[in-house]
Copies of this chain bind each other. A is one copy, B any other.
Amino acid sequence: MPPANMVPPARFSAQARLRALQSDIMELILERELEAGDALPTENELCVALGVGRNTLRESLKVLQALGVIEIRHGFGMFVAPSNFEALADGLIFRGRLSLRHHGLEALQLVDVRQALESGLIGSAMDVMTAEELAAIEAAVVRMEELAASGEAFMEAASDFHSRLFAPLNNELLLNLLGVFWRVYRKIHSEIGPDGEDLVALAALHRNIFTAVAAGDKAGASEQLTRHFDGIRRRIREAVGE
């Protein structure tokens, strides 16, 4: 028996304790009314405050960092982080790649969710879209067409196009989520091989989407988006079918 060491509350599983530790840290942030950008106590101070060892604490800290709750700057300190979905992307990318070895189920489900979001929200976005934002979207289309004409891949430009479509909604959470989906798709795309797709046709598809948006044709925009996603699904199925 340990000599009056401390309360060994080992009655609960280690998993629960670690989760509790993470919650404790988050509670501490909320209690002290820290805001995004504020500094947290140092590791040693947290060790004392929470009554755990530095390693155990660091494991929780790393998790919170991955969750986008805190930001750790080597040699300086830890801070409450701004919104961040990087970690979610990594997890989804892994799941998507794992699913590709089977029937691509998760990858296809991901496309479904993305389609629901984009097709469902394009109408709302069009309602509040300004002329400047519309111009930025067209600029993205033009960039895609230029790249397509020179035979270069334009993942970057396409991502930009989709982002700008929904920027008017002013919903960072949504943009983050779509950004994550995009990163996952991009990774999966590079996984299933160099595209045998027609870049020019793909650019034209995006031009169609823009045209519908510019014309205020909500149903048309939604339909064009749906067609786009059908193409993505087809590609995934082909890759898995092999």
B33, B62, B119, B171: the one contacting A59 at CB < 8 Å is B62
A177 with B113: in contact, given A62-B59, A67-B90 (CB under 8 Å)? yes
State whether B91 touches A171 (Cβ < 8 A). Answer: no
A62 with B109: in contact, given A116-B117, A116-B120 (CB under 8 Å)? no
List which A131-165 residues lie within 8 A (CB) of chain B. Answer: none
A191's nearest neighbour on chain B, judged by CB, is: B30
The answer for the CA separation of A26 and B66 in the assembled complex, in Å, is 15
A27-58: CB near B (< 8 Å → 1, else 0) gives: 00110010110000000000000000001001
- Mark the stretch among A13-21, A196-204, A206-214 that contacts chain B: A13-21
Chain B contacts for A205, CB-based, 8 A: none
> How near does chain B come to A121, taking the closest CB pair, in angstroms?
5
List which A70-113 residues lie within 8 A (CB) of chain B. Answer: 72, 74, 80, 83, 87-88, 90-91, 94-95, 97-98, 101-102, 106, 109-110, 112-113
State whether A30 touches B97 (Cβ < 8 A). Answer: yes
Q: Among A74, A87, A110, which residue has the most Cβ atoms of chain B within 10 A? A: A87
State whether B109 touches A171 (Cβ < 8 A). Answer: yes
A58's nearest neighbour on chain B, judged by CB, is: B59
B91, B101, B174: the one contacting A109 at CB < 8 Å is B174
The answer for the CA separation of A169 and B115 in the assembled complex, in Å, is 14
A165-183: CB near B (< 8 Å → 1, else 0) gives: 0000101111001000000
The answer for the CA separation of A112 and B177 in the assembled complex, in Å, is 12
Chain B contacts for A90, CB-based, 8 A: 19, 22-23, 26, 67
State whether B172 touches A101 (Cβ < 8 A). Answer: no
State whether B69 touches A67 (Cβ < 8 A). Answer: no
Complex A-B, nearest 6 residue pairs according to Cβ-Cβ distance, in ascending order: A120-B120, A67-B91, A109-B173, A63-B66, A59-B62, A109-B171
